[in-house]
Chain A
Amino acid sequence: MTIPFLPLAIVFIPLFFGILIFFVSHEQFKLAFALSASLFGLFLTSLCFKYVTSGYILTSDSFILAPDIVLLFRIDALSLFFALITTFLWVLTVLFSVKYMEGNLKKNYWAFLTLSTVSALGVYLGGNLITLFLFFEFLTLFTYPLVIYAGTDEAQASGGKYLLYLLAGEVFLLFAVVATISFGGGSFSKIGMLSSLSDFRFLRFLLLAYVLGFGIKTALFPLHRWLIGATVAPTPVTGLLHAVAVVNTGIYGLIRVVYHIFGLDLISALGVSNLLLWIASLTIIFGSVAAFRQDDLKKRLAYSTIAHISYTLLGVSVLNANGLVGGLIHLASHALAKLSLFFCAGKIYKETGKTKVSELSGLGYQMPLTLVFFTVASLALIGVPLTLGFLSKWYLWMGPLETQRPLFILVLVISTLLCAFYLLPIVSRAFFRSNGKIKIKKVSWFYLLPIGVTSLSSLFFGVFPTIFLNLTRQIVQFFLGG
């Protein structure tokens, strides 16, 4: 079924608002446009839900800019899954920014925030490789001004590192994209674009280029330094990088590569599944250990992202249905929980100026609600029953079990333990170690609403996961045919 309107609208209506922000000078208008961009994004994306879950793929008309350079947008279940997460969290990020950026708002904050997220939507909705690539690169470029937002030397240095890593990755990605288009056409309309090729050496090289291209954006070890450096950005931006837009596009790309561009048969034939699993495991263990050793709260969360995003890669590369479902749901649960944690960290920093874990003693008595939400989000990330994290880990464990690879379950167990070790001490320190001051501050709704919604939705979706399960069923059906 072709509804050319919807995929275009999801990208271009928010894009229109984003560009409009550059041309208005009044602060209130800028905010209004940014908010309406995100609301439109969320609204239009949810409109697609009904069509997609009943098995349709919505495809737009294509804009032929030149031979090969064709813009095309399409929504299938995988696109929608990612787009829903992004747009939902986008609205909350905008709300959180209102209070957080108060008094520190520079000219183009809203514009770049909007454009970055729109680029991420463009990546998800890209109906061929070139569209995906173009928006992937735009995402890097539009987030750069946000990373160097503080304007300090440290921010500039981190920004330089950010650009260097991501753009270097995109060089490999472009190579792989051009090669794929030359040999297999770039459109996502068929699964297994490269299946006509039989030169396995070249295919492995191509896969390596793809993994480098997308993997740098998911901060695979040892190419993760940019993500840690980028914690100098304001907290909503960090949230954008870790949960809303940036790393998600990387993992989205990897899923497309494995299941769509190469296709299940070709990937199994290449015999690279174990290699991918090892890369993912290494990153998981490294990220968890590094998070455990980190005292800076934001950096601890950043290392935790590195680990958790690779859970998804692990789930994807066991190459069975449970693994894929687990990986996808874990991505959603991680995004919700991690955004909530970052919001809490941001609120703590804004109201007390504290950035280190060791300084947080007794904070639970000053801002009880925040810390309660922090606890809920931590539990969700660890994967305690009744949270979405539990569901995702359940499927993630099933994946390697089915294929008789118990070693990787051990990786998951160790990292879950580590996750508990690096998150729960924060909670216990805040609640059980008093620093004598008990003074409950008045809370702003602009803070509490996004934090509450993100962390409670981990609980809500943990109990009612139907939305996610419906979509993942479609995705599995599409890629694995069963």
Chain B
Amino acid sequence: MPHLFVLMVVAPFVVAALIPLFSIRFKNLSFLMTALTSLFSFCSVLYLVVIERKNFPLEYHLGGWVPPLGIGLYLDKLGSFFLLLVTFIFLAVVLFSRFFLGEDVEASKRPLYYTLLLLLLAGMLGFILAADLFNMFVFFEVFSISSYALIAASGKLPALRASFKYLLMGTVSMLFMLMGIAMLYSLTGVLHIPLVAKELANIVSSQTTQVILALTLIAFGIEAALFPLHTWLPQAHSLAPSPVSALLSALIIKMGVLGLIKVIYYIFGGCLNELSPVLMIMAVLAIFFGAFFALGENDIKLILAHSSISQIGYMVLGLSLATYFSLVGGLFQLLSHALAKATLFLCVGIVISQTGLRSLKDLSGAGKESPILMIFFGLALASLASLPLTGGFAAKYYLCKGAIEKGAWVIALAILVGSLLSLFYSFKIFSSLFISKPVKKVSFKLSWWAIIPLGCLSVVSFLIGIFPRLGFVLIEPAVGALLRVVR
């Protein structure tokens, strides 16, 4: 089934266009269509990963036109890792939306919401699969623009402001990227990524290549909310409807990281030269500043948003250290953070929508009556805090090992101290929700639409923590794919 590739990207686009049409007559169809489409994407990714994994890397040329003339799609094991992560979490969030959307998004706007969700999915899948720079840019814009709109989905003024701020930063990022791509095109004359990399390998590193590298790193750095380019993130993530926050934090900023990977490894072949220490310092600063911001906050969603800044730092650190173990650690961090943050934002969504409260002080002891919520929260926070036998621990372990093997002891210590800080803010959330004396007792109502997706996320996250080997099955080939393009 060679065309599955294209179908995977096209299907969400088509369904996204159909939803507004159908929803005029059938109000409830939009959820069903979205859920089925995301289920289809998930299943086709599973098919690709399980059945076709021997044929990796897969290439598909649209209309049979071979690059440099035609447009291509490209999937290697790194891509399949991202595809699996994206489609799995997306499916969970869509299912959860059915339970949740209550107050945040009015009934009349729901078809629009689902349309945007599907555009988001289409954009992400396209971005992962795109084999040439321009398509990468276009798909990047598709999911960025739909995420601006999704943040504003509640229609409230603060959300609109946050969305606009993100839009401004995102536009700057887009301009940088476009400029970088234009310069790359003028330098190499091709857009197909492997060909660009081949051309670049023959060109001696010059100021031009450094400028290109800087431009694209800044562009994706903004999307990944790498400190100090993170300023849009806290407001946007905390004011969006909770399922959207989950998607933003678990997937969209990871697309920024994927962008960084594509630039650093697929285009420049792992040669960062002078920019490597810069990236490393930014990552370490991100780890600490994000954690300090999170410790200082009292709003539960803002804590989680700031913690994303800190956690992204680990992934970028793994990329910039560029050893086998640091890459394993970085991707492990990406995986476990995505699962944990998705769970957390969804759970927080339940808490906020059913109590109307956001600050930890008011929520004190609120969760004492619902053990299920406590388990979800506990598992995800433990992973965020990198307690032993969670995904977060394995991630920090390998990152630290990578740093030590490179002789960067200070960075190894920074990683561990950062994880201590993340333990403190996770503990702050857990203790005020589940240990402190209750201000008022709340019993949360959870339907199966909430329990099943949350349960799936938690179980996967738990299993990866207990048996990090399960994560390795995905991550090791991905790192292998990365190391293969290093020159």
The count of residues in chain A whose C-beta lies closer than 8 Å to any C-beta of chain B is: 27
A134-B388, A137-B387, A167-B420 given; A178·B467 CB < 8 A: no
B423 within 8 A of A: yes
The interface residues of chain A lying within 8 Å CB-to-CB of B437 are 151
B217 within 8 A of A: no
Taking a contact as CB atoms under 8 Å apart, the answer to whether A171 and B419 are in contact is: yes
A174 within 8 A of B: yes
Write out, one digit per residue, whether chain B residues 371-390 have a CB within 8 A of any chain A CB (1) or not (0): 00000000000000001110
A292 within 8 A of B: no
The interface residues of chain B lying within 8 Å CB-to-CB of A69 are 394, 397, 468
The interface residues of chain B lying within 8 Å CB-to-CB of A171 are 413, 416-417, 419-420
The interface residues of chain B lying within 8 Å CB-to-CB of A174 are 396-397, 400, 416
Partner of B413, one of A137, A148, A175: A175
A168 to B421, CA, bound (A): 10
A168 to B405, CA, bound (A): 23
Q: Name the CB-closest residue of A to B427.
A: A163
The interface residues of chain A lying within 8 Å CB-to-CB of B423 are 167
The interface residues of chain B lying within 8 Å CB-to-CB of A431 are none
A3 within 8 A of B: no
The interface residues of chain B lying within 8 Å CB-to-CB of A202 are 409
Write out, one digit per residue, whether chain A residues 137-173 have a CB within 8 A of any chain B CB (1) or not (0): 1100100000010010000000000011001100110
Interface residues of A in 165-202 (CB under 8 A from B): 167-168, 171-172, 174-175, 178-179, 181-182, 202
Taking a contact as CB atoms under 8 Å apart, the answer to whether A178 and B404 are in contact is: yes
Taking a contact as CB atoms under 8 Å apart, the answer to whether A175 and B400 are in contact is: yes
A171 to B424, CA, bound (A): 13
Q: Name the CB-closest residue of B to A202.
A: B409
Partner of A65, one of B416, B435, B466: B466
Taking a contact as CB atoms under 8 Å apart, the answer to whether A68 and B397 are in contact is: yes
A65-B466, A66-B469, A167-B423 given; A178·B388 CB < 8 A: no
Taking a contact as CB atoms under 8 Å apart, the answer to whether B427 and A133 are in contact is: no
B262 within 8 A of A: no
A168 to B401, CA, bound (A): 19
A205 to B412, CA, bound (A): 13
Q: Name the CB-closest residue of A to B415.
A: A175
A254 to B56, CA, bound (A): 49
Taking a contact as CB atoms under 8 Å apart, the answer to whether A64 and B469 are in contact is: yes
A202 to B408, CA, bound (A): 12
B295 smallest CB distance to A (angstroms): 12
Partner of B389, one of A67, A134, A151, A163: A134
A178 to B437, CA, bound (A): 39
B472 within 8 A of A: yes
A133 to B389, CA, bound (A): 11
The interface residues of chain B lying within 8 Å CB-to-CB of A151 are 437
The interface residues of chain B lying within 8 Å CB-to-CB of A67 are 472
Interface residues of A in 336-383 (CB under 8 A from B): none
Taking a contact as CB atoms under 8 Å apart, the answer to whether A168 and B400 are in contact is: no
Partner of A178, one of B397, B417, B435: B397
The interface residues of chain A lying within 8 Å CB-to-CB of B387 are 137, 141
Q: Name the CB-closest residue of B to A180.
A: B404
A137-B387, A141-B387, A182-B405 given; A65·B412 CB < 8 A: no
Interface residues of A in 67-105 (CB under 8 A from B): 67-69
The interface residues of chain A lying within 8 Å CB-to-CB of B401 are 68, 178, 181-182
Write out, one digit per residue, whether chain B residues 23-61 have a CB within 8 A of any chain A CB (1) or not (0): 000000000000000000000000000000000000000
Q: Write 25 A-B pairs (CB below 8 A) sorted by A numbering.
A: A64-B469, A65-B466, A65-B468, A66-B468, A66-B469, A67-B472, A68-B398, A69-B397, A134-B388, A137-B387, A137-B388, A138-B388, A141-B387, A167-B420, A167-B423, A171-B416, A171-B420, A172-B416, A174-B400, A175-B409, A178-B400, A178-B401, A178-B404, A179-B409, A205-B409
Q: Footprint of B on A, CB under 8 Å?
A: 64-69, 133-134, 137-138, 141, 148, 151, 163-164, 167-168, 171-172, 174-175, 178-179, 181-182, 202, 205
The 5 closest A-B pairs by CB, nearest first: A66-B468, A134-B388, A171-B416, A178-B400, A137-B388
Q: Footprint of A on B, CB under 8 Å?
A: 387-389, 394, 396-398, 400-401, 404-405, 409, 412-413, 416-417, 419-420, 423-424, 427, 435, 437, 466-469, 471-472
